[in-house]
Structures are given as C-alpha cells and as structure tokens.
Structure 1
C-alpha cells in the first residue's frame, strides 16, 4: 500500500476513533446497500424517526448521523485513499463549498434533469446547489427548515394595543414581554441559549438591526441592537433560558409563554396541544425581518462505491410522499411542489403557515447559514455566543466586546478566505467587517 493510502487510512481510523462513525468503515457493505452520511437527524429520537422513513426505500440504507467537521474529514480522507464507503452525503448548504473546492463531489446535473422531469423542485434552492457555477450541480436540494416564534394562547391578551402578531416589531415584542411580566410577576419569554441560540443572533436579530450578518458585526447598529437586548428584552426572559436546549418542553410545561426555536424543536408542543399554541414570524427591526432559511442538500462523493444506489436514494428522498413524511415526522419542510401534506397535523399546519408568512413578508430579509468556513464553521457560532455572553450575562461594555470578538471574526474570515454571503453584499476575497 502506498504511503498516501496509508496516511489516508490513518486519518479515516482517527476520525472513526474520535467520532464514533465506526459503521462507515467497519461494516461490510452489501452490493445493494447505500451508506448515507448525514449531518442532519443526529439526535437519537430524530435518527430513529428518519430510519423509519427510510424503510420505504426499495434498497438497504445504512444511515450514519455525524457532526459536520468529522463528516468533512472523513470524505477528504476517503478521497485521498481512493477508497470510499460513503455513497450519499446529506448536509447544510454551507457544508458543501469546502468539499466542492477540494473537488470531492459528482456533478448531479443529469440526476437533476431526471428528477425535474417528474417533480418541481424549488428553483432558488436548485440554484444554491450550483454553488455559484453555471452548469455544475453539486447537490440536490433535500429539505428546508427555519426558526419561528411560538406562543401559548394565554399570552395573546398581553399583546400591545394594535399589534399584529404576524407583523410585530422587536420593540413591540419587548413591550409584550414586559406586559406578560407585569401581569404574571414572572419572566415568561424563552430562548434556547444552550441550543441553537447562535442562529437567533446570526440570522434574526443581527440582520434585523444591521441589514447583514457579518459586515455590521461591530457597527453602531449592532451596539443599538445589544442595548435593546440588554435593557429592553432580556429582563423579561426566563432565567432558565441559559439551560434550554429545545423550547417545546418549557412551552408544554407552562414555564414559558412565548419562545423562539427551530421548527423541528417546537414540533412536540404543537403536536401534543395544537389548540394551546400559535406560531408566528420573528419580529422586524430597523433593517427588516431577518430570518434564516436552512437549506439541506444531498450530494455524492466521487468515491461512492454504489453510485446507482445513491442516485436511487436521492430520488426517493425528494419524492412528494417522502417529503411529506419528513415534514410530518421531523418538522423539516419540503423543497418540492405537491408534497403530500394531507396527514399534516393541525399543529404542524400552524407552524407551516408561520414559515410561509415569515418568508413572504415585505420586510423579509433571508440570512443564509455561514458559508465557506469548512470545518471551522463552529468557530463563528462561538464568536456570536461569546459576544452575547460577555455583554448580556457578564455586563461588559458593548463596543469593547464587539471590537474584540470582531477581531476574532475577521481573523476567521481571513484565514478561511470566506467571501460574504447573503444578506451581506458579495465581496471579492474574504468578507470584511465595517
């Protein structure tokens, strides 16, 4: 065996040892088996539900949940060795650029043509799958999700006079939060600070105040935004928010009356007590209604040992019936027209309506997940979290914190060469903070 292959095998084994993606390497793959590596549904309950959906596929699928970094490392190591085990990768949009830059993925244009002969895929998401090229389809859109607000119907009586719950401003939201506190004597608004709260900062509150995610990180508008969070909103946020992973449980228990979270992490509350909760769009700020569409795609590594099976699995996953099942069971929304939603529960219909209202409003300002950071994608989340913790929880000076964390953010962008992404304007070379 060559030195290159030995080195790559060592990398693969190290990834296995550190991440537990053992079955990718050590399980023998049957002739018809498709190995599906996915950065989605990597929570045990979600994995089990998704495996149930995969039972409808005609072949055998080995579903391997993984975090993003280890998945990228594994595919790179398999490429170097020239011997792959992964047939299909399911991942967020931002995972694909570094794999494309390393030339690790098949062109799926022909497969897309086959799929679109039968189904109408979302054109915008198909375009995202080209990663800025004209004629190379790096991934087929698989599903989408986002984050919305949810409220117990008991909280509606405290809305500010004249406020439209489907068109709130952040100032109105803060007033509503204060009204609830004044009436109940408790802070009853909740955020998943231990969970996906960095997406709230990156995709919702920052764009709503600055018009972008990155370039205005330390701007005067960002200072105003953090003053709002610190002085006007956070006094009325439940103190247990720092320990919340998902918001569905605090909503169901009544610990909080209003919450923000990923649609899939609100699902249980709306399924169990659909009449008790309403879903609504995130509020708007001075720059618009910042929101984060989460686009997930399906790709095929060059080293796929079963490309025919991989194509068949991708086709199965975009079938309207499969897309409808994923929505009903896991709360991720279809990317294909005509998805079967006849079995959609009353609660999930409420969430679906809020998603539609949020995305189509006049002030809607979509903010993509961070792009181009590769395996260092987690670092940007920590930067936003650090800024929040230092300012809101530790009481540090806002501009000082933003300058210091902004320097870390700029270093990350410079090191990776990541250009600006929506909602920031395109850049030549690494994105630059103002």
Structure 2
C-alpha cells in the first residue's frame, strides 16, 4: 500500500470516527408518533432543529418501537435517549423502567393529564407532550336556543338534550347530528364520553345501573337527532349543509366546516354527567428510559418539547394540540384555532374525566368496538330493553377482556390482570 492509499485510509477512519462521535452526540428520539414521512420531516426540520444538542428523530410502528426498547432495557444499556408514545404505550410498561421526571420543572397545564402521567406511582413517569380529541360544534344560529343559564363551555348532558329539543322545536325537525354512519366514530363517543360521564368507567361498569341511566339519556337525545345520522360519518358535511346544527365528532372531521365558514360555527367542550366531563384524549407523552446514554441531554430535550414555541411548532407539524397554556398564532387555520380552544377548555376543566383509548387489546380492538356499536344499534335503533341488551353484551365484552388479558385503563379502577366486567 503506497503512502497516498495509507493517507486515504487514515482519513477515512478519522471521518468515520468523527461521524460516530457526532451521531453519538445526537439524542435518539424513539417515537410511535408523527410517523408519516411528511410529519416526520416536519418534526426534524420545524420542531427539533431548534434544539441545541442535536436530535435523531426516528418514528416507528408500535411493534418495532417496543422490541428495540425492551432489548435495551434487558441488556441494561442502549442508545435510545428519549421516548415518544401514547399514554397506552407507557401504561403497559413497568414504571421502574422509566426515569422519574418530577424534578424537571415542566408539566402540562392539565392536572388530569399530569395525574395520568404518574402511571399509578407518586412521580411523573412521562411528561404529557401533545393531544388530540373529539369535541362538540354548532352553528351559531343555534346558540339562541340554549336553555336558560347554560354555559356552552360547561354544558351538562341534560342541558344538551334541552338545547337539542329547543332547536328541534324551532326548526320543525331534529337538528342534532351524530356520526352513526358505517365510518363514523360513534364507538369512541360511548367509550370516552358517555360512559365516563355517567359510570366513571367503561369495562367494569358496562352493565351497571349507571350505564342504564346513560343509555336512557342517550335515547332521549336521539329523539332530537336527525334520523339520517345513521348515514353520517364526517359531521363537517352536515354542519355545512345545515342538516345538523349541533354535532359531535373528531377535530379532524370538523375542520372543513371551520375552514370554509369560520364565522358561522363555534367549537366547545363535550358535556358533563354525574361523574364528570367525560372526554377521550389521544394523549402522547415523552419519557426517558433508565438506559438512556446521556441523561442530561435527554432531560434537556424533554424540557424543550414543552416550551410554548415548540408546542406551536409541533401543532403545525402534526395537528396535535399543545398541552401547555399558549396563545395560538393568528396565522393558524381557523379549524385549528377553534378546536384547540375547545380541547384546552375540555382537558383543563375542573370536572375533566378522561376515558382513554382502549389499550392492550391487540387484534381484538375491533371486536371491543363492535360491542359498543351493537349495543347502540340494539338499544337505540331497535329499541330493545336496555338491561337485557347490556346483560347479553356483557358476556361478549368479558370474553374479549379474558382472551386479551388487558388490564383496566382510566377511568376504570386499575386491575391485576384482565379488566373485569362487574
């Protein structure tokens, strides 16, 4: 080998060594969120580029994400610096595998979210990072029919029913709209809104006397619901057409109405029942595994993710809303501003009672959702006796929980092993 070849070889080795050091200096952000190529690129260029320490943002599906994390935890060392995942991903972990972040000095503006982030311990096992949810929306013309004394940002289910009844009478036809179509997200309303608001549970309380009350109230609301709702899937369409004046849906499925006619509609929190203001947050958090190679850099990155300006950048990149108090910029789409305000009021309300996304069900998630859809169709559409239907469906639900072994999630009380249907 001549001198020049040796020089090239040595230079290449130095370059590789420098690259390795540079790569090592970056904090590996291992995430289940912002996976689409466009979102991942926006996370790197718009959100994380302002972090001084350098970040290697790597989003993955849940399976590979968990496999690598478990391998590093079992080995006792690894390269993952910071974790990004949904609450359900973290709740399935052993809290001892995550670093206590209580002394970091950052948290969400929601005491409810901070409580969830403790994962049943006395310390913050992850920091709430971003959220999405389902909300209510209405044509502003319908506001004149609100029952006397009702606050649209703090409605009860009884007030919502009265409002729908008033609008029904004024219009001469039912004007409440509900996404009960084949592609509608009706099951999420029952799991995350109705059940938590009336039973303070979902699985344990499925066939309880309080559940009977909940379905009775929903049947009452249904009498003021546009009967074509069984064909409705995206409620933005019914708001724009006038087929519905008051609706419930996911924020993304209401966006078109607010973006096309922002002055005509208002967004607001879901109503409250006897056991709180049930709502389903799609809550993501950031955590640090105990095997993180650079704990100081990891903590700096977690704190960076909660800065107001970072939260706004994350909103632009992912359409997930901030978890900290922040003034939304004027140049955001009208739908984002309207929904963001409603989500913040809902998650920050004193009576907030989150009904989390089902967790631990694996490929039985569809069967779980079907239980609630079938219950709705039998009770509300077929007018079958509520107690009988709940008793019939109780067995199906119990079988799913036993087969999956999925433990309870909020607002159900924690369980050892499969969540029981009581």
Q: Which runs of 5+ in 1 are unaligned?
A: 1-29
- From 196, 212, 217, the counterpart of 2:206: 217
Q: Deviation per CA, 1:8-64: give whole Å up to 9, x if none.
A: xxxxxxxxxxxxxxxxxxxxxx92676655444457876676565336345464553
Alpha carbons of 1:211 and 1:259: their partners in 2 closer, same or farther (altered >3 Å)? same
- From 156, 168, 172, the counterpart of 2:143: 156
Higher gyration radius (CA): 2
- From 71, 92, 95, the counterpart of 2:86: 92
2:44 is the counterpart of 1:56? no
Q: Counterpart of 2:10?
A: none
TM normalised by structure 1 equals 0.71
SS state at 1:142 partner: strand
SS state at 2:84 partner: strand
Question: What does 1:20-419 correspond to in 2, within 5 Å?
Answer: 31=23, 36=29, 38-41=31-34, 50=43, 53-54=46-47, 56-58=49-51, 59=54, 61-64=56-59, 66=61, 68=62, 71-72=65-66, 75=69, 88-100=82-94, 105=97, 107-109=98-100, 113=103, 115-116=104-105, 119=106, 121-122=108-109, 125-134=113-122, 138-160=125-147, 163-184=150-171, 187-193=174-180, 194-233=183-222, 236-237=225-226, 239-240=228-229, 242-244=231-233, 246-300=234-288, 313-327=301-315, 330-336=318-324, 339=326, 341-343=328-330, 348-359=336-347, 364-370=351-357, 373=360, 375=362, 378=365, 380-393=368-381, 396-415=384-403, 418-419=406-407
Does structure 2 conserve the Cα–Cα contact (< 8 Å) formed by 1:293 and 1:367? yes
Name the CA distance, whole Å, in 2 between partners of 1:276 and 1:329. Answer: 27
SS state at 1:274 partner: coil
Name the CA distance, whole Å, in 1 between partners of 2:63 and 2:156. Answer: 37
Q: Which runs of 5+ in 2 are unaligned?
A: 1-21
Name the CA distance, whole Å, in 2 between partners of 1:146 and 1:172. Answer: 22
Does structure 2 conserve the Cα–Cα contact (< 8 Å) formed by 1:148 and 1:280? yes
CA RMSD of aligned residues (A): 4.3
Does structure 2 conserve the Cα–Cα contact (< 8 Å) formed by 1:420 and 1:427? yes
Equivalences, count: 395
Name the CA distance, whole Å, in 2 between partners of 1:38 and 1:357. Answer: 27
SS state at 1:130 partner: coil
Q: Counterpart of 2:17?
A: none
Q: Deviation per CA, 1:210-231: give whole Å up to 9, x if none.
A: 2332322112332232233335
SS state at 1:236 partner: coil
How many Å apart are 1:276 and its aligned residue? Answer: 1.6
Q: Deviation per CA, 1:186-216: give whole Å up to 9, x if none.
A: 5543334435433311221112222332322
